[in-house]
Amino acid sequence: MAPVPVDVSSTLDASERVKALLLRLHTNSLAQEEELNKPDGKLSTLKALKSQGDAGDAAALADYQRQFDDLMRDKMIALEQDKALFVYHLCRALSATRIVEAGTSFGLSTIYLALAVGQNASKLDPEQRRAAKVIATENEPAKAILARQHWKEAGEEVEPWIELREGDLRQTLASDLPAEIDFVLFDIWTPMVVPTLRLLEPNLKKGAVIVTDNVTSSAYGYEDFHDYIKTHRNAYRSLVLPYSGGLEFTLYDP
């Protein structure tokens, strides 16, 4: 279970309005996650199917993945607070100003990314500042609407730094990318990770960082990603950080 959201006033450089919004969204996300994970919740009914899949039943695994994806399609479960804070501070430390988020959902993690980009961009000259942005992606229209509402509520610290691309990211990220991408956050349907990485790879800056969520709890879905990293080991260095569900840190260093 993810940690209960806490006040982050001392660890996040943001207005009280934004901090209150983040706390509310994290609390709502956790409440929905707990509801899904109740003994009689919908996720619990899928556990037997997942167990069959983990034991080698390919049909059961495919059925589990289909039902799980259908279940989560309209759910507003976000990157946990401790992970989001880590990503925020990591982007600040990297001075990242060109970020791609694959899987925006209802826009919570994007707020952290946009805060980091805006704060990093404040140190740049006007021309460089204009290029600073988070390219966020979302395939579900209802989630995209909610995300925009949350960013508007967050205000000038956040909203101007986000470019939302709606639809299949295999199309929306196929063109018009920054010449050099500093940071990528993967929090999407696992079969989309490798196709997305292949799209972004030509534009990754040497020293770019990729963070991928739930690589332990959804290990079966990340096999292609890990195979890709191993196959291209001359370009990628990767380790799993001990956050709930596993959070993978990958350095692009060709």
Please tell me the predicted confidence (pLDDT) of residue 3.
61
Query: What is the extent of the structural domain holding 114?
Result: 81-252
Q: Is the full-model pTM beyond 0.85? A: yes
SS3 208: strand
Cα Rg of the chain (Å, integer) = 18
Residue 136 lies in a domain: yes
How many whole angstroms separate alpha carbon 119 and alpha carbon 96? 10
Q: Mean pLDDT across the stretch 237-249?
A: 97
Average pLDDT score, the chain: 90
Residue 168 lies in a domain: yes
What is the pLDDT confidence band of residue 36, given thresholds at 50, 70 and 90? confident
- Range scoring the smallest mean pLDDT among 6-10, 103-107, 226-230: 6-10
Please tell me the predicted confidence (pLDDT) of residue 33.
79
How many whole angstroms separate alpha carbon 78 and alpha carbon 68? 16
Residue 87 lies in a domain: yes
What is the pLDDT confidence band of residue 8, given thresholds at 50, 70 and 90? confident
Residue 34 lies in a domain: no
Residue 32 lies in a domain: no
pLDDT at 235 over 60: yes
How many whole angstroms separate alpha carbon 80 and alpha carbon 95? 22
pLDDT at 1 over 60: no
pLDDT at 9 over 90: no
Q: Mean pLDDT across the stretch 191-202?
A: 97
**Residue with structure tokens 């290990």?**
219
pLDDT at 202 over 70: yes
Query: What tens digit of pLDDT does each residue of 56-86 get?
Result: 677 766 777 777 776 666 667 789 999 999 9
Residue 203 lies in a domain: yes
CATH number at residue 123: 3.40.50.150
- Total of domains in the chain: 1
What is the pLDDT confidence band of residue 213, given thresholds at 50, 70 and 90? very high
Residue 62 lies in a domain: no
User: Which amino acid makes up residue 144?
Assistant: A
How many whole angstroms separate alpha carbon 217 and alpha carbon 92? 27
Residue 21 lies in a domain: no
